[in-house]
Structure formats: structure tokens, C-alpha cells
Amino acid sequence: MPPQRSLYEALKTRPSVFDPSEIMDQFAKIDKKRVNDIARVIGRYIEINLPGAFCKRNELCDYRTNPYVLMTTANIMDLSDPNRFADFLFNSKLFMALETSFGKSIESSFLNPYPVISTNKWTDPSEKIAEHKALEGLSRQAKAQKRVNSVWREIDKSVSIGSRRYLVSIKSGPNTINDTQVQAMTDAIKHRHQTWLAQTKASDNSINEIDIVIGLTYGTDKTTNNKENQILAKLLDNGFIEENRNQCPGVIIDEETQSVRVYRLIGRNFWAFIGNPQEPKVTDFIYLEILLGLAKALSQGIESGNIEDRINDRICKLATALSRLQLPKNSLPDWVTDDFSESELFWFTTAMTAFFDEGI
């Protein structure tokens, strides 16, 4: 059996099963203070940053979306009424903006209270901060050119515990990683892992090993698009070997020094690791703390930021713009006006906005 296929099977055969009794046991371990701390930080984040996901959309062209999908969706969902169409367009854009926003907030806020076993907490790698600082004062184009040679670009957070440093690349969900990111992450680990280890040792001589973790904040082993597993499989042909298939499936280690381990963690396993990188099983409840903190933060942040009222105002403005959107009289051939209904022309005209910057 080919090694890659065996690796995939080992990683895909572990089901995640909902067990009420297990959840009850996990609830008993939750720290209320950490939940409140998360809620406070995320609530403030939502109050400040959530409006940015929609307040900047002032014109109809700001809601530009895929015109082909737009018309198909509008037809299937019968979105011929400007108010319904406005609600759909606004919520679609808001959802996509929130996916990006919460990806950033997870890195900046959700990880702050962890790990629970150490005074050291997850932070931006100091080496990455130094790289960013070196780019200060450069133009956007110059920064983009310099970032190509970044050593720490693919690492989001790090923490040192004992003699080991943990480096995490955070991806939001099971379908986030694409083929381009697979290659970028594979190349980064292949070419940079010894540099990461050497720079770590240079700044802290008590560290002699590093773990490189690809973390997905939700999902299960069975529900991913397999891209995170492809990274591991590609590395097996580039200086890495499996550490121990039976005891730790999916963990690979560099063949040369045996000091660099690479693996991926998904959903509940990822958050357990964030809570305690050394013994994740002890903190299998952390994902519940995150969800409880977020639930509490949403009510606090939305209320204090008057977000519901501001969202309704934006939807009303968008609906008004859509209702006024029309082509000049007599601009269409007779066969178009004869063959297409008013709803179809409405969808058509809305889809046209994807091709223009002004005048719509």
C-alpha cells in the first residue's frame, strides 16, 4: 500500500461523535473567569471591528459579487423584490467579511488566555514582529516584494513550554486551505524548519525542539478538504518521516535532526492543544469556553455598538438603490423586452454592476 494513501487513511478514520455525557464532563471543567475574559475582549473587538464589515459599503457597486452566481441564486430564491434582494446581498457580503474578520480575531483575541498550564501565552513570534518592523516606511509594492523572502510568514502564533517551542499556522476551517496554500506551507516547512529551530535556540538556549502545527479552528478529521493532509504527505518526500504510525498517527519528524515535528489539529483537538500543548487531552473542553465566550460577547458587542440599527439602515439604503436601478428607456431591443420578464431584467441589471466602478 502506498505510504501517502496509508497516511490519509490513518488521518481520516477517526470519527468525532457527539456524546452528551462527555459534554457534561467537559462543562464541569470550564473556567468561568476565562469565559468572561474572552467575552469581554471579543465583545470589544466586535463593537469596534464589526461595523467595518458593512459601514464602508456606501454605494451599490460596493456590493459587487459574482454576477453569474448572483443571477442563478436570485432566480432559484425568487429574489425579484428589491427589499428581499437587498437583504440577501447585504447578508452574503457580511458573512464573507465576518469570515475574514473572525479569522483575524481568533489570532488576536481568542488565544490570549491560553495555554492554561503556563505563564507563557500564545503570542506573535518575536522573529515575525522583527520582520514586519523592518518593512516600516516602505511602499506597499516594496513591502509585497520583501515579503516574498519572509522566513516567518506562515507562522501565526508561538509559545515555549519547557524545552519545546510550539509554532502554529492557523486556518479558519476545513475548506480554507487551497492548493496554492498547500504548496506555500509545504515549501515554508521544507526550507525554513531548520532556520526556525536555529533562531529559536539562539534566542532561548533552553529550547531544543519545535513543533510546527497546522491548526483548523473548526471541523473534524472527516470533513476537511484533505489539503492539510497533503502538506504532510508532500513533506514525507522532502526530509521528513512518520514518527510512529501506531502511537501518534499523522505526526511527522525531520529525518536529519529528529528535533522538528509537524502535524495538523482540527476543531476540538486544535483548541485542546491551544489550552495545553503538552497534554491536550487534559483541556478537551477549551472549544466550549471559546463558544460560550463568543455567545456572551455577541450580545454585549452588538448592543453596545448599536449594530442592529446600523445594519438595518444599510439594508434600507441598499434596497432603495436597487429599486432605482434601471436602464434608460428604449435602450433595450424589442426582443429583449419581449422575451425577458421584469424580474429577469432586474437580476440582469443588478449583475451588470459587477463590471463597473461608477455610475451605478
CB-based burial, 182-214: b 16+ in 10 Å, e otherwise: beebbebbbebbbebbebbbeeeeebebbbbbb
Non-local (6+) Cβ contacts of 259 within 8 A are: 197, 208, 209, 210
d(Cα 305, Cα 54) in Å, to the nearest integer? 13
* Res 340 pLDDT > 80: yes
DSSP for 4-63 reads: HHHHHHHHHS------HHHHHHHHTT--HHHHHHHHHHHHHHHHHHGGGGTTT--SGGGG
Cβ-contact 323, 82 below 8 angstroms: yes
Per-residue confidence band for 214, with pLDDT thresholds at 50, 70 and 90? very high
Cβ-contact 245, 196 below 8 angstroms: no
What does the pLDDT read at residue 215?
95
Per-residue confidence band for 8, with pLDDT thresholds at 50, 70 and 90? confident
Determine which of 130-144, 151-165, 188-202 has the lowest per-residue pLDDT on average. 130-144
Determine which of 77-81, 222-226, 291-295, 311-315 has the lowest per-residue pLDDT on average. 311-315
Average confidence (pLDDT) over 160-173: 94
d(Cα 122, Cα 167) in Å, to the nearest integer? 9
What does the pLDDT read at residue 305?
56
Rg of the chain in Å (alpha carbons): 25
What does the pLDDT read at residue 47?
78
* Res 199 pLDDT > 50: yes
Share of the chain above pLDDT 90, in %: 45
What does the pLDDT read at residue 156?
94
pTM of the model: 0.83
At residue 330, φ and ψ (nearest 5 deg) are 65, 15
* Res 169 pLDDT > 90: yes
Most confident of the following: 94-108, 191-205, 305-319: 191-205
Mean pLDDT value across the chain:
86
d(Cα 270, Cα 260) in Å, to the nearest integer? 19
What does the pLDDT read at residue 154?
94
Q: Angle at CA 152, nearest 5°, toward 148 and 154? A: 80
Residues 308-334: tens digit of each pLDDT? 777 777 778 788 878 777 777 677 888
What does the pLDDT read at residue 1?
42
Average confidence (pLDDT) over 293-312: 72
Non-local (6+) Cβ contacts of 110 within 8 A are: 38, 42, 290, 293
What does the pLDDT read at residue 344?
80
DSSP for 218-245 reads: S--TTTS-SHHHHHHHHHTTTTEEEEET
Non-local (6+) Cβ contacts of 93 within 8 A are: 54, 57, 63, 65
What does the pLDDT read at residue 303?
62
The one-letter code for the residue type at 338 is D
Per-residue confidence band for 56, with pLDDT thresholds at 50, 70 and 90? confident
Per-residue confidence band for 75, with pLDDT thresholds at 50, 70 and 90? confident
What does the pLDDT read at residue 337?
82
Cβ-contact 249, 11 below 8 angstroms: yes
* Res 139 pLDDT > 80: yes
Cβ-contact 174, 216 below 8 angstroms: yes
* Res 5 pLDDT > 60: no
What does the pLDDT read at residue 161?
96
* Res 2 pLDDT > 50: no
DSSP for 247-313 reads: TEEEEEEETTTS-EEEEEEETHHHHHHHH-SS-GGGGTTHHHHHHHHHHHHHHHHHHHTTHHHHHHH
- Residue 106 is classified by DSSP as I
Per-residue confidence band for 33, with pLDDT thresholds at 50, 70 and 90? very high
Q: How many residues does the chain have?
A: 360
**Residue position matching grid coordinates 485542546:** 272
